[in-house]
Chain A
Amino acid sequence: MLERFTKRAREVVERAQSIAMESRASQVRPEHLFAAILWDDQCLAVRVLVAQGGTTDRLHAELDRRRARYVDGLDEEDAAALASIGIDLEEVVRRLGDEPLQRKRSRFTRVSRRFSRPAKKVLELSLREAVSLRHNYIGTEHLLLGLVRQGDVIVRDTLVAAGVDTSTLREGVQEALRQAG
């Protein structure tokens, strides 16, 4: 599928892997793809988001706020829920951290991360978005549409909080493409 990706879209996929690794996530999740899109503020997807009411600063800030703070895939609400049954998530993470994950053999050090099921779904949906727009390539704009359609909570909440109108996102993409000529 990647052969149909534009250079920029391929870079987004690669960057999502690096972001997942940097945040010590075990898999690439939709939020990493979203962060990877936002990183390239000249790409069509970001231009569409700005045209739909967002600003890059707010998008970055809102996404950072929502991304996992404690452990892979767990946020503050999860920490609060765990506290309600007597589990101190920060303490669990702290103790795990006391024994650093030193991998002695290099063959266990992966240079890439697998895509989570929802993240794979995003890629699949971006292909479908491209097809329905009769485009023969997948660009960052299709990745964005795929992300929104997949419905990841972090992505959705970030867009809402940053003031992006997602109801007319597809039209926004078409408009941006018209302007780009």
Chain B
Amino acid sequence: MTTESDLATAASASDPRVGLRAVRALRRLLEELERTQVRRARAQGWSWAEIGDALEVSRQAVHKKHGKD
């Protein structure tokens, strides 16, 4: 682990800046993970409805978000 990370770990308890940055980063990471997994599922032949079920969102929502990826 880098010094920077150690500093962040030490600061996190009290510093909302680090905490909020982590929230933002987590959101982006989540988006990336979702894109990756949806693509993978599609490549393996999953239907949009199946993907929607797995994510607990509607087929339309998942298609609207990832249909053009």
Cβ contact within 8 Å between B5 and A71: no
Q: Is the CB of A81 within 8 A of B22?
A: yes
Whether a CB of chain A sits under 8 angstroms from the CB of B35 is: yes
The CA of A81 and the CA of B4, in the complex, are separated in Å by 9
Complex formed: what's the CA distance from A78 to B18 in Å?
9
Residues of chain B within 8 A (CB-CB) of A87 are 22, 26, 29
Say which one of A4-12, A37-45, A104-112, A166-174 lies at the interface with B. A104-112
The closest CB in chain B to the CB of A87 belongs to: B26
Q: Is the CB of B12 within 8 A of A82?
A: no
Q: Are A83 and B36 in contact (CB under 8 A)?
A: no
Query: Chain B residues with Cβ under 8 A from A73's Cβ?
Result: 28, 32
Chain A count of residues within 8 A CB distance of the other chain: 28
Q: Are the C-beta atoms of B68 and A77 separated by less than 8 Å? A: no
Known pairs A26-B32, A102-B43, A114-B68; A84 contacts B25 (CB<8 A): no
Interface residue A76 (Cβ < 8 Å from any Cβ of B): yes
B8–A80 touching, CB < 8 Å: yes
Cα A84 to Cα B21 with chains together (Å): 10
Any A CB within 8 A of the CB of B11:
yes
A134: Cβ under 8 A from any B Cβ: no
Residues of A within 8 A of B42 (CB): 108
Pair A84/B11 contact, Cβ less than 8 Å: yes
- Report yes or no: B32 in contact with A84, Cβ–Cβ below 8 A: no
Contact assessment for A84 and B9 in the assembled complex, using a CB-CB cutoff below 8 Å: yes
Q: Which residues of B from 11 to 58 have beta carbons under 8 Å from A?
A: 11-12, 18-19, 21-22, 24-26, 28-29, 32-33, 35-36, 39-40, 42-44
Tell me the complex Cα distance, A81–B26, Å. 9
Identify 24 residue pairs between A and B in the complex whose beta-carbon atoms are under 8 Å apart, listed by A's number.
Answer: A71-B28, A72-B28, A73-B32, A74-B25, A77-B4, A78-B22, A78-B24, A80-B2, A80-B8, A81-B18, A81-B22, A82-B26, A84-B19, A84-B22, A85-B12, A85-B22, A96-B33, A99-B40, A101-B36, A101-B39, A103-B43, A104-B43, A104-B44, A105-B43
The 4 A-B pairs at the shortest CB distance, nearest first, are namely A84-B12, A78-B25, A81-B21, A81-B22
